[in-house]
Amino acid sequence: MSVLTPEQLAIKQAAKDFVAQHIIPRAGEFDRAGEFHPYLLEAAKASKIFAMAVPKEYGGLDYDSVTQALVLEEWGYGCAGMGTTLAASILSMDSVLVAGTDEQKRRYFTPMLNTEIGAFGLTEPGAGSDAGAGKTTAVRDGDDYVINGSKCWITNGGVATVYVIYALTDPARGAKGLSAFIIERGRPGFTIGTVDHKLGIRSSNTVELLLKDVRIPAANLLGKEGDGMKIAMKTLDLARPAIAALSVGLAQRALDECVKHLQKRFPDKPQPGQTLQFKLADMQIQVEAARQVLHHTMALRQAGVPFSKESAISKTFCSDVAMSVSSQAVSLMGSYGYTSELGKYMRDSKIMQIYEGTNQIQRLVISRAVLAPAPVAVPALKAGE
């Protein structure tokens, strides 16, 4: 029996249908080409899926957190590269949700209603895990800020129309001097650098961004000067379960394709040996456990209770499961797994353990919560109770 509501089930089915019709048939081709294809945005126009995280008051679909996970799982099932395009756009929106004014939200979210996409630019050469070590600066000049620097490995960077970019307004204060800005594509001095060659998620767009004297209105500052690190951390808390959802979809797909292959490869043995049966059962146990951790995290997020630890756990657990299950699927398929398109699931899984904070960094977050758990308020007993 499903604990999902009829509405959630209907949205999940619509996402599954979309993926079957538009993503699965093209995923191999775009992976081999190693580039983002605008076909995805055209195909998604009718469903407005890129607006699924946009609140209703800004015209979006406003899906609840569990429903967003259901959709992202389906996209991860179809192609983790194309799923990354959707997840990265939502990641950039999360910064605006966290710190944007009403006017900024309206401005940022409106393009998503037309299936345009956003990008989130935090990482720099030498400033990945240590996000506060960046060198990009934003200097106030009258009613503007002037931004100089560069960002690397930015998903959607070459194809987005709106960006959230992090830059130092007070370099002497390090991470405490970091601020977040909205930058619209096309501003003079804002150019797209090298397109990265990647091991996996090859149909997503990953580029370097170059900012030379890019002038933006001061009204594009999100929150206050110096709020950048707080905004980035809250954004990543909100967004990491999306990577968990892509990972669950990816792992389920690797397992399903492996089962299909084994049934074809050994047609005379509908009941393969017990060792193999147990292996497949263990893989499904892993995927199902990952899915439940994800849904629990999303339920906490939806309820508005603290969920930083669970966000880190779901990202770590689900991406480790995707890596493990996809690797085992390749092993079970032998050379066919290694040489066919099915090896894509294993290649795509690796990034899930790296971006939005590596799994080592997640383990730091989790261990801090374990070592110094937030106090739980226990009501005092009254006399006689």
Ligand X SMILES: Cc1cc2nc3c(=O)[nH]c(=O)nc-3n(C[C@H](O)[C@H](O)[C@H](O)COP(=O)(O)OP(=O)(O)OC[C@H]3O[C@@H](n4cnc5c(N)ncnc54)[C@H](O)[C@@H]3O)c2cc1C
Task: Tell me how far, at minimum, the Cβ of 300 lies from ligand X, in Å.
Answer: 23
Residue closer to ligand X (CB basis): 155 or 308: 155
Contact region for ligand X (CB under 6 A) — 13-21, 114-122, 261-269, 288-296? 114-122
Task: Tell me how far, at minimum, the Cβ of 91 lies from ligand X, in Å.
Answer: 7
Residue closer to ligand X (CB basis): 202 or 261: 202
Give CA 178 to chain center in angstroms.
22
Task: Tell me how far, at minimum, the Cβ of 337 lies from ligand X, in Å.
Answer: 23
Residue closer to ligand X (CB basis): 296 or 363: 363
Please name the residue that has the structure tokens 């100089």: 148
Show the site string, 77-106: x = touches ligand X by CB under 6 A, - = not. -----------x------------------
Contact region for ligand X (CB under 6 A) — 134-142, 249-257, 268-276, 356-364? 356-364
Q: Is 116 a catalytic residue?
A: no
Contact region for ligand X (CB under 6 A) — 33-41, 238-246, 328-336, 351-359? 351-359
Contact region for ligand X (CB under 6 A) — 180-188, 241-249, 352-360, 375-383? 352-360
CA angle 360, 363, 364 (to 5 degrees): 95
Q: Which residue from 181, 236, 178, 226 is spatially nearest to 362, judged by alpha carbons?
A: 236
Contact region for ligand X (CB under 6 A) — 281-289, 317-325, 358-366, 375-383? 358-366
Residue closer to ligand X (CB basis): 12 or 198: 198
Residue closer to ligand X (CB basis): 249 or 357: 357
Near ligand X by CB under 6 A: residue from 120, 181, 190, 307: 120
Q: Where are the alpha helices (DSSP H) in the chain?
A: 6-18, 24-33, 39-44, 65-78, 80-99, 102-113, 228-265, 274-303, 308-339, 343-352, 359-371
Task: Tell me how far, at minimum, the Cβ of 43 lies from ligand X, in Å.
Answer: 22
CB-nearest residue to ligand X: 128
SS3 53: coil
Q: Residue type at 71? A: V
Give CA 148 to chain center in angstroms.
27
Please name the residue that has the structure tokens 């501003």: 187
* Contact yes or no for 366/372 (Cβ under 8 A): no
Q: Which residues contact 254 (CB under 8 A, 6 or more apart)?
A: 322, 325, 326, 329, 342, 345, 346, 349
* Cα gap 223→166, rounded to integer Å: 12
Residue closer to ligand X (CB basis): 145 or 153: 153
* Contact yes or no for 356/243 (Cβ under 8 A): yes
Reported as half-sphere exposure (CB side, CA atoms, 13 A), residue 297 has a value of: 30
CB atoms within 10 A of CB 166: 28
Task: Tell me how far, at minimum, the Cβ of 129 lies from ligand X, in Å.
Answer: 3
Distance between start and end Cα atoms, the chain:
40
* Cα gap 232→168, rounded to integer Å: 13
Near ligand X by CB under 6 A: residue from 18, 109, 345, 355: 355
Near ligand X by CB under 6 A: residue from 351, 352, 365, 366: 351
Show the site string, 140-179: x = touches ligand X by CB under 6 A, - = not. -------------xxx------------------------
Task: Tell me how far, at minimum, the Cβ of 276 lies from ligand X, in Å.
Answer: 33
Residue closer to ligand X (CB basis): 165 or 248: 165
Looking only at the bridges linking them, the beta strands covering 190-195 and 162-168 are unpaired
Near ligand X by CB under 6 A: residue from 22, 107, 198, 202: 198
- Binding residues (CB under 6 A) for ligand X: these are 88, 120-123, 128-129, 153-155, 198, 201, 206, 351, 354-358, 360-361, 364
Catalytic residue positions, numbered: 356
